[in-house]
Amino acid sequence: MLLPLQTQLKRTEDDIAAVRQQISLASVMQQANKPIDGSDVTPNAVPNGFTQVLIESTMASVSQKSSSASSASESSYRSSFFFGGYSSSRSHRESIDSRESETRNVKIQIGMSIVKVSIGREWFNPGVFLLTKDMYNTSSKKIAPNQKGKPFQETRFNAMNDCVFPCFPVAFIIARDVTIKFSSDQAISRSFAQSVEDHSSSGGGFFIFGGSSSSSSSSASSNSRATSSANSVTVRFTSPQILGYYLEATPADESMTLSEVRNANGDYISILDFIKNFQSMLDDYNKTYNRETLQMYIPRNESSE
């Protein structure tokens, strides 16, 4: 009597274990096929002409170490990619306070709406730079490199840096409704959350997104605000951000300098040399003719004296 009941109980336990395994496998597959949830960082509505962008990445660990020591006032400044732009910390403590915390497996989500804005200049026609082959240059500096090849090379960039007008902007990218969220399966360390909040409130930037103030101080205005919970820290930017520019390379400067033309042509004379020669000719003429002319018009009363 007892043996059949034990056998039936064993079968029931096996069935329950199989169902649990199927549920666990289904949950894993559903999580893998689940699209990126950007509801916390994406804007509620995308303006006309804008494109919504969602970026997600994971950092293995984030270490945050802070230390301060001062008997009166001490300021320390640093710049990093994480705390983009200009950041500062100030302490009025008389003792040394050092702490270090680490948050592991931090997921970073960045949501924003972006648009490309073209730059129109009615007064500016870059086609004039295509005519430099028929021009002469009085300066040793070139307008743009007289080199043709791949534009994204170090040698090309170095040559452009030595020129007067190597490129010009034709458009730029604007981002609005920028939100950055740091989240973790574990609890976010309080020091890390506090550092993010302090940096945001003082006008500091994150990654390539900057604050509104040029320096980080408690009295400076800020265009971002940060909120934190047990497992996440969210930073929202209230004003648009310029992410970058589209630059168009200026056509190669094929003009010749006047010194090169003078060396190539022995009969060439510069404007400065022409002025000097003409002035010398006028001086000789005045010495020869104008003196006699002036004497002819001298009043008689003066001549009688």
Residues 207 and 104 in one domain: yes
pLDDT of residue 207: 65
Please give the backbone phi and psi of residue 181, each rounded to the nearest 5 degrees, phi first. -125, 125
Predicted pLDDT of residue 168: 93
Asked if the structure places residue 91 within a domain, the reply is: yes
Q: 8 in a domain, yes or no?
A: no
Closest Cα to residue 115, out of 52, 159, 162? 52
Q: Are residues 186 and 297 in the same domain?
A: no
- What pLDDT does 115 receive? 94
Q: What is the pLDDT of residue 118?
A: 94
Q: Which domain holds residue 274?
A: 269-304
Backbone angles phi, psi at 265, to 5 degrees: -125, 115
139 located within any domain: no
Q: Is residue 61 part of a domain?
A: yes
Question: Following CA atoms 189, 193, 196, 198 in sequence, which dihedral angle do they give, to the nearest 10 degrees?
Answer: -120
How far, in Å, CA of 162 to CA of 143, rounded?
9
From 32, 64, 79, 57, select the one nearest 180 (Cα to Cα): 57
> Could you tell me the pTM of the whole model?
0.55
Asked, for residue 237, whether it belongs to a domain, the answer is yes
Whether 156 and 150 have beta carbons less than 8 Å apart is answered as: yes
pLDDT score of 264: 60
User: 3-state SS of the chain: helix, strand, coil percent to 5?
Assistant: 30, 30, 35
Domain for residue 1, yes or no? Answer: no
Q: What is the pLDDT of residue 133?
A: 86
Question: 206: which DSSP letter?
Answer: B
- In which residue ranges of the chain is pLDDT below 70? 1-6, 24-39, 60-104, 148-151, 189, 191, 197, 199-222, 259-270, 289-305
Q: Report d(CA 91, CA 98) in Å as an integer.
A: 12
- Same domain membership, residue 284 and residue 196: no
Same domain, 282 and 217: no
Residues 88 and 198 reside in one and the same domain: yes
Q: Can you give the pLDDT at residue 76? A: 41
- What's the CA gap between 261 and 163, in Å, rounded? 21
User: 201 and 89 in one domain?
Assistant: yes
283 domain residue, yes or no: yes
Beta strands at 256-257 and 136-137: parallel, antiparallel or unpaired: parallel
Whether residue 286 sits in one domain with residue 237? no
Domain total of the chain: 2
